[in-house]
Structure 1
Amino acid sequence: MTFEKKKGIKRLISSINNSLAGLADALLTEDAFRQLFIINSVLVIIAFFLDVTKIERLFLISSCFLLLVVELLNTAIETVVDRVSLDLHPLSKRAKDLGGAAQLVTVVMTIIIWLIIIF
C-alpha cells in the first residue's frame, strides 16, 4: 500500500485534526486525564485572579499545562505497551512505571510551584 504524504496547508489541517482527535479520545476514555483536565482548568482560571506577577502567573499556568502533557505522554506509552502485548513482562512494567514516575514528578513540581507562589 502506498501512502502519499500531505503537504502544505493540508498537512497542517490534518495534523491539527489528528491532535484534536487525540485530545477528545483522552477526555472521553481516560479517567486520569479527564480528572487532571478539570482540576487544571480550575487552577488556570484561579491563576488569573491571583494577585501575582506576570511571570508567577506564567509559572502557575505552565505547570498546569505540563501536567496534561505528561499525562498524555504517559497514556501514549501505556497504550503502545498494551498494543505490543498484554502479557506481563518486566520491561512492560518498567515502561509503565517510568511513565507514572514522570507524572508523579510533574505533580509534585506543580504543587511546589503553586505553594511557593501562593504562600
Structure 2
Amino acid sequence: MPEPILPAEAAAAAHKRRTGLVRLLHAGRHSLRGLADGWGEKAFRLEACLAAVLLPLACWLGQGDWVKTALLCATALLVLIVELLNSGIEAVVDRIGPEWHELSRRAKDMGSAAVLLSLLLCGGAFAAALFERMVRG
C-alpha cells in the first residue's frame, strides 16, 4: 500500500508542477515574503537604511564611471544579501530547537562573520572611492 501524501509533500508536488509565468509569479511572491521577513530584522533595516545612503553616494563617487558605480552599488547590496542569508541560517537553527549545541553556535557565528566581512568589504570600497575622489578632486 502506498504511503499517504502529507500536506507538505502535496504542496511541494504542486509547486513542481507549476511552469512558466505561474511558477515565476509564485517564486516572486516567495521572494517578496522573504524581503518582508528580512525587514522584520533590526539589523536588516539598519543595513537597508545604510544602503539608501550609500547607493546615491556610489553614483557621486563613480564620477560617471559606470563600472566603479556598479561595483560600489554591488558592495552595498551584497551586505543586504548576506544579512538575509544570515537571518535564514539563524531561523533554521532556531527551528531545530532552543537547546545549545556547538554546531548551532558555529552556524550562527559563521553567518555573523559573513555579514561582518561584507560590511568590511563595503566600507573599504567606499573609503577607497572617497579617498580617490578627494585626492583627484
- TM bucket (normalised to shorter chain) is over 0.9
Q: 1:102 is matched by which residue type in structure 2?
A: A
Match of 1:15 among 16, 27, 30: 27
Please say if 1:37 is aligned against 2:48. yes
Q: 2:125 is matched by which residue type in structure 1?
A: I
Q: 2:122 is matched by which residue type in structure 1?
A: T
- Post-superposition shift, 1:48? 2.0
- Cα distance change of structure 1 residues 57 and 15 upon mapping to structure 2, 3 Å threshold: same
Q: Deviations over 1:13-50 (max 9, x none)?
A: 000010001101211x2000010001111110222233
Q: How do 1:77-116 residues align onto structure 2 when only pairs under 5 Å count? A: 77-116=89-128
* C-alpha distance in 2 between matches for 1:18 and 1:25: 10
- Does the 8 Å CA contact 2:82/2:114 hold for their aligned counterparts? yes
Please say if 1:55 is aligned against 2:67. yes
* C-alpha distance in 1 between matches for 2:58 and 2:119: 17
Identity across the alignment (%): 37
Partner residue of 2:134? none
- Post-superposition shift, 1:85? 1.1
* C-alpha distance in 1 between matches for 2:95 and 2:124: 35
* C-alpha distance in 2 between matches for 1:111 and 1:34: 18
- Cα distance change of structure 1 residues 51 and 23 upon mapping to structure 2, 3 Å threshold: closer
* C-alpha distance in 2 between matches for 1:74 and 1:51: 29
Q: Deviations over 1:66-104 (max 9, x none)?
A: 000000000000000000111111110000000001111
**Secondary structure of 1:99's partner?**
helix
Q: 1:55 is matched by which residue type in structure 2?
A: V
For the pair shown, the structure with the greater C-alpha radius of gyration is: 2
* C-alpha distance in 2 between matches for 1:46 and 1:16: 29
Q: TM-score of the superposition, structure 2-length normalised?
A: 0.82
